[in-house]
Structure 1
Amino acid sequence: MTAPNRPQPQPGILDIAPYLPGKSGKPGSKAIKLSANESPLGASPKALAAMVEAASHLEIYPEGSSRVLREALGEVHGVDPARIVCGNGSDDLLHLLAQTYLGEGDEAVMNRYGFSVYPIITKAAGASIVMVDEDDYRADVDALLGAVTPRTKVVWLANPNNPTGTYLTSAEVARLHAGLRPDILLVIDSAYAEYVTAADYSVGLDLVGAHDNVVMVRTFSKMGLAAARIGWMVGPDHVVDAINRIRGPFNVNLPAQMAGAAAARDVAFTAELRRHNAHWREWLTTALSGNRMRVIPSQANFVMVLFDSPETAARAFETLADAGYIVREIGPSYGIPQALRISIGSEAAMRAVADVLGSMDLGK
């Protein structure tokens, strides 16, 4: 057998479809970006001030365990900081969980329209992803449990889910967990928890505190710090120990640690984000529910709009782009070509999007 003439990636790596981020406007354009679920109110002023202060000390290494950030998170969320791991965005932590708990011959289970990073990190660890059909764009607990086999090692659950915005109640998540073997890790990805207004929702800390096979993952990206790349995870001691053994020793930079700590404690800013989002999410849902559009009820900071065909969705995307509003096409990444995902933005942006789509002749 002839040796290759250049380094070769591990088997399966080149079979992985790369992550496709939301589009932005062309360089120099004034297009409004509503494709990445970013904060419409920017970042907490306290977080910005903390980042500026930390930027005057760029010559020093950050504290390796993100102690200041973990202590702030523990204080605000009532969690022992020793059970928190911070990362370079929640994607960093999800990758580490896959690397730690999945390997060749293993399987991970997810709902079909779950976060598109899950298949990437599962396959990168050498495992197989099992996608389970949903019930009207909502995770189906019975179907997820029915997909579990002796090879299953991880269940990925985004709650609320991206890109659909749907969620499982705390009782449903508890039922999902109760049906899993104790050696299966349930990963509850609560990236959009700050925007949930449903009374029957739980971020997952109750399950984490009571069981040895549940972790909860969160992010600061939807709270105005997407550029800083800050994620955090709460888990049982044995999971925290395993992740800390392989994570990068300085995986959260110093300005991010300081900004994250300040943002966590700025509960007034977080509450204002939630209030703004709840109002305009409901308003946009009502405004777009008609003219041959269906809006899936959302608990996140976006809505998913279904059109009667992929062609109509593509025409709606182009019409919005021509008007200066970039939304997310989710056919390529998620297999829902007849849908668009629209981030909740400013009042002006929401009214403009509604006007543009409301005036389209979607019957053609």
Structure 2
Amino acid sequence: MTSLSNRRPQPNPGILEIAAYVPGKSGARTGKVHKLSSNESPLGASPKAIEAYKASAASLALYPDGGATQLREAIATRYGLKAENIVCGAGSDELLQLLAHAYLKPGDEAIYSQYGFLVYPIAIQSSGAKSVIVPERDYLADVDAMLASVTARTKMLFLANPNNPTGRYLPFSEVKRLHAGLPADVLLVLDAAYAEYVRQNDYESGIELVATSENVVMTRTFSKIHGLAALRLGWAYCPAHVADVLNRVRGPFNVSAPAIAAGAAAIADHDLVDQAVAHNDHWLSWLSSELTALGLSVTPSVGNFVLVHFPADAKRNAATADGYLQEHGYVVRRMDAYGLPGALRISIGSEEANRGLAGCLKAFLS
């Protein structure tokens, strides 16, 4: 007899094996809560972006520009790019998914590093392809190991640079070496969500490689330094043939009019970006030093967050620390889903949040 469960619609093979993405927690505690779990900007959105968002309310009955022309032109002006090679999406997450769906099929393989962003396996497996996870070396992507993992079935390689959740980055020379070792039909996807925070001279977000290659795409987001996480807004810089593919498979109105207006205003507000970078430079160094002084191990980060490793004993481990912090109004990110149960990822917050969290952990560890 056929079971009832086999008579209802069934998802494609592999879909139910996907671990659903769990976002950073918000505080459920009463009283003041410092949310440091999602790497959001403590400076908030640009006042110019907020003004543009409000002004768009007068046209809510109309469909947005399907090509997000105003936003693409603003991005192109900011970075000196070709607007026609830019594709905008509902967060860079959507663009990563679209790339996977357009270029991966059952039987294909896609590579990412051990502690890479958890959206990668979701995008890969939902396309019917196989995830190939390459071990990292000291919480950093290993170029040689990634190249050694390439097979005839490899069609895509995701590299978050800087990486979330470790905060580490590959210098541009290593990214170029990785690209040079890939077959021409393998698409290298450079996820540069935290690029604006990096000030090291040997870093490059990927714009140069996209401009000189046929198999590189760079994705960026407005959710971090621009403080527009609620609007779900991202963009990709692509070779013309990849942009053409993405424009064929994306939704016709995948970016809302308020998001287009706010994004264009935000990317033109250089002063707020400079303020956000200066704030992060100061407090990233300060918090890393304070937590190290408490005896905790902090992975060196160039993003707007730190990966903090806790002792293994039950009274002082990451899970216990997380519970203690929540009780005192500090919401951070557990790393169990990344295979790092002994660590917490902590966003750089306001001065009040950073000082308060350091003091809270001092009390917890004493």
Amino acid at match of 2:56: A
C-alpha displacement of 1:27:
6.7
Partner of 1:108: 110
Q: SS state of the match for residue 360, structure 1?
A: helix
C-alpha displacement of 1:30:
2.5
Q: Is the 8 A contact 1:310 1:338 kept in 2?
A: no
Q: SS state of the match for residue 365, structure 2?
A: coil
Amino acid at match of 2:329: G
Alignment gaps of 5+ in structure 1: none
2:352 is the counterpart of 1:348: yes
Q: Is the 8 A contact 2:29 2:329 kept in 1?
A: no
Separation in 2, partners of 1:264, 1:218: 12
Partner of 1:330: 335
C-alpha displacement of 1:23:
0.8
Q: State percent identity of aligned pairs.
A: 55
Partner of 2:231: 228
Q: Is the 8 A contact 2:29 2:327 kept in 1?
A: no
Partner of 1:275: 278
Runs of 4+ in structure 1 over 6 Å off = none
Separation in 1, partners of 2:138, 2:294: 20
Q: SS state of the match for residue 264, structure 1?
A: helix
Q: Is the 8 A contact 1:310 1:337 kept in 2?
A: no
Separation in 1, partners of 2:2, 2:186: 41
Residue deviations 1:182-209, cap 9 Å, x none? 0000000000011112111101000000
2:326 is the counterpart of 1:321: yes
2:257 is the counterpart of 1:254: yes
Separation in 1, partners of 2:179, 2:86: 21
Q: SS state of the match for residue 221, structure 1?
A: coil
C-alpha displacement of 1:5:
2.2
Amino acid at match of 1:90: S
Q: Is the 8 A contact 1:47 1:262 kept in 2?
A: yes
2:134 corresponds, among 128, 132, 135, to 132
Separation in 1, partners of 2:148, 2:340: 24
Separation in 2, partners of 1:87, 1:44: 20
C-alpha displacement of 1:310:
7.5
2:266 is the counterpart of 1:263: yes
Separation in 2, partners of 1:356, 1:47: 35
Separation in 2, partners of 1:216, 1:123: 21
Deviates more, 1:78-87 or 1:286-295: 286-295
Partner of 1:296: 299
C-alpha displacement of 1:291:
2.9
Separation in 2, partners of 1:205, 1:286: 33
Change (3 A) 1:341 1:254: same
Amino acid at match of 2:363: S
Partner of 1:152: 154
C-alpha displacement of 1:360:
2.5
Separation in 1, partners of 2:313, 2:112: 24
Normalised by the size of structure 1, how large is the TM-score?
A: 0.97
Separation in 1, partners of 2:251, 2:181: 34
Amino acid at match of 1:227: A
Residue deviations 1:108-139, cap 9 Å, x none? 00100000000001000000001011011011
Q: SS state of the match for residue 142, structure 1?
A: helix
Amino acid at match of 1:209: A
Provide the alpha-carbon RMSD of the alignment.
Answer: 1.2
- The count of aligned residue pairs is 361
2:15 corresponds, among 8, 13, 16, to 13
Separation in 2, partners of 1:145, 1:310: 38
Separation in 2, partners of 1:278, 1:292: 22
Q: Is the 8 A contact 1:38 1:224 kept in 2?
A: yes
Q: SS state of the match for residue 303, structure 1?
A: strand
